[in-house]
A and B are shown apart, each in its own frame.
Chain A
Amino acid sequence: MRAKSRDQTSDTRAWQAFHADNVRTYTAAWLGATRAKHLAIRRDEAAAGLLEHAALLWRYTADESIRSELRDWPPQRRRQLIRDACRYFVRTTYSAQMTTLCAHEALTDDHLARIQSLLLLRDGAQAALDLAAYLAQDLWGKEPKLLFALADVYTQLAKGDEAILQRPDILSIAGKIFAPFQPLLRVELDKDRYWWIFHAAELDQQFTREEESGTLYQRLGLRRPLPRIMKQLPTRVVFDTRYIVMEQPLAAKTTEKTSFLVVTRKSVASLVGTARTRGRVASRSPVILPAARALPVPVVFGPRAIPEEPNRATAQWDASGLPRLPRTQALVLVAEAKSGTLLGAGYFDPATKLITLVEGAWTAFEPYAHATEDLLLVLAS
């Protein structure tokens, strides 16, 4: 045990030295010091590196002087530092790489390794942005452009975040890269903000608990293990080509506060079949609303391509005439009526009582542009 503790201490110091070394180098590079010129580090890259490593050094030391010393810099210099860093992060290819990797159905070891590398980059970027926000607290009022610059970066990174969040099966494994860092933390990190550090462990615990008790598969009615189900995520719905996982409000006859509903492409077909025979399925299952002429779900506009994104389709239905509508925003699946093939997904907006298609390829919806009666809407209420 003592040896383990000694190893950990040595490791902590190694990481501290690593980040301190980088703070020194990137600071010199950002200031344009002659001693750093041979490194050929661009000014924006140096600013991002300075912030990232200073933030990580603070994370592993809890030494407030690291942040306060930067905070003591004149406002003009801090402003320049943040602008340069934002200019770097906005060019990051994190989102493009993550989206490409997460699109693979089955990942190779190489894909997984690259996702882990990307998560490490994401972690560094978030630490840098948090430090930037800390340094700019007194500048927001005078410098709204600084806020826009940070917002641009967050928007850029969000695309990649969205891609990995839709793949809890990948995140649960790739997130393990942060396990060795957890004992080194000296400051408390926001679990929602740094979800890549904390969720892998939570997913593991959750999955093991549910798997051991057998409740997970019973509840889902599935024989085969599904990818791990994600809780407490910023996004409430996980949607990809194989399955949909959505957080469901308190269901009847269940003691848990929330439960998850998992719909596979196959199970949509069976749900549609049940709907056809019974008209409506039991209260714990999603309510099936055929958008056929028989039921009053008037079409506001039929499927059409989004002008800005011609490959994607949108459509809208007016659900105001339907009974038992959910009080909160709810997911709506759009399926082909005869086969039950899942074509896309949308949202029900309780304020307008409108159902809007937001996920669906135009090629899939084009045949139904003038045949909306052949579509089924599956509303999770």
Chain B
Amino acid sequence: MNMRSVTVHLSTGPFTVQVFRDPQRFLAHVRDHFVSPHEPWDRVIPRKLLKHVCQKINAPPVRLVEALYERVADAIADGAAFSAALPLYASINERVRAKGGREWEQTTTYFIAAKGFMIICGNHTVKSAYFCAETPSDAAYTLFQRAWKTVKSRCAMKQYVDEKYATVHTRVAVHMESEQNWQRCPNPHQRPRSAFKKRSSPDESIHLPRIFTWEDDYASEI
């Protein structure tokens, strides 16, 4: 199976990543995510293909894996391109200190696809892609909001100690592009606010004077 590469254009220049390091990693990811009943991958990959893979998950035929890989690579390419064009991505550069004084640096880049799944890249490979779904029926709007919140929260972490592997992870630099899009979630599934305001709720009996103005109260201060 030939591993594909994806190139997107970031503000710092072209960014090329290989879609998963090797077929084994990809297969592990298929089991963990793509055929997981907890994640709505059938919105991205044809349901029939996922069903076939799922039926033969223990020993999937090479042709089937290749077909799935092509679909996944396409989805990741589209997702990363959307995220880079918006722009809505973040790079975290961290220094890892292991027991015995060994130190190294690693960079992790996060993209958010329009469908709402996150793409996590490190060491020039796609390490993971998954939905932050609470139920598989979550709307694309919700999935995108959750992915945005997760990435933003992760970027704000300063340092953590992984006692199990005796390593200390310290953030050296965090680059969030663009600042505006990380201040306010640019959810592609939401219409512009002007379009909202022209129509009214059909349920006129509900008294909601402030609920719809909360956004304005807090957002105006940003």
Contact = CB atoms under 8 A, between A and B. Distances in A.
Interface in B179-222: 182-185, 189-191, 195-196, 199-203, 206-208, 210-212, 214-215, 217-219, 221-222
B140 A31 contact: no
B202 A34 contact: yes
Interface stretch (B6-14, B75-83, B152-160): B152-160
A88 B166 CA distance: 40
Interface stretch (A92-100, A136-144, A297-305, A341-349): A92-100
Pairs A-B, 9 closest by C-beta atoms: A180-B156, A16-B218, A93-B38, A17-B219, A20-B215, A20-B214, A41-B139, A110-B128, A117-B132
Contacts of B207: 72
A145 interface: no
Interface of A is mostly: helix
A113 B142 CA distance: 19
Given A33-B199, A228-B163, 17 more contacts: A10-B183, A14-B222, A18-B185, A31-B202, A31-B203, A41-B141, A49-B142, A66-B214, A73-B206, A94-B134, A110-B130, A114-B130, A116-B154, A117-B132, A120-B132, A169-B164, A176-B157
A116 B134 contact: no
A172 interface: yes
B131 to A, nearest CB: 9
A262 B154 CA distance: 33
B178 interface: no
A39 B32 contact: no
Interface of B: 29, 32, 37-38, 120, 122, 127-128, 130, 132-142, 145-146, 148-150, 153-154, 156-158, 160-164, 166, 182-185, 189-191, 195-196, 199-203, 206-208, 210-212, 214-215, 217-219, 221-222
Given A18-B149, A110-B127, A28 B201 contact: yes
Contact of A33 (B134, B201, B219): B201
Contacts of A116: 150, 153-154
19 contacts: A10-B222, A14-B184, A20-B219, A23-B211, A24-B212, A27-B211, A28-B201, A33-B203, A35-B196, A39-B141, A109-B127, A110-B130, A113-B128, A116-B153, A120-B132, A120-B153, A121-B134, A173-B161, A207-B163
Interface of A: 10-11, 13-14, 16-18, 20-25, 27-28, 31-35, 38-42, 45, 49, 57, 61, 65-66, 69-70, 72-73, 77, 88, 91-94, 96-97, 106-107, 109-110, 113-114, 116-117, 120-121, 125, 169, 172-173, 176-181, 204, 207, 225, 227-228
Contacts of A33: 199-203
A152 B153 CA distance: 30
Nearest to A179: B157
A225 B136 contact: no
A296 to B, nearest CB: 43
Interface centre among B122, B156, B200, B215 (most CB of A within 10 A): B215
Contacts of B163: 169, 172-173, 207, 225, 227-228
B191 A69 contact: no
Given A116-B154, A177-B157, A225-B166, A20 B195 contact: no
A18 B161 contact: no
A3 B189 CA distance: 34
A32 B203 contact: yes
Nearest to A53: B145
Nearest to A168: B163
Contacts of A114: 130
A366 B88 CA distance: 56
A21 B153 contact: no
A356 to B, nearest CB: 33
A353 to B, nearest CB: 40
B172 to A, nearest CB: 17
Contacts of B149: 18, 120
Given A20-B215, A23-B214, A94-B134, A39 B150 contact: no
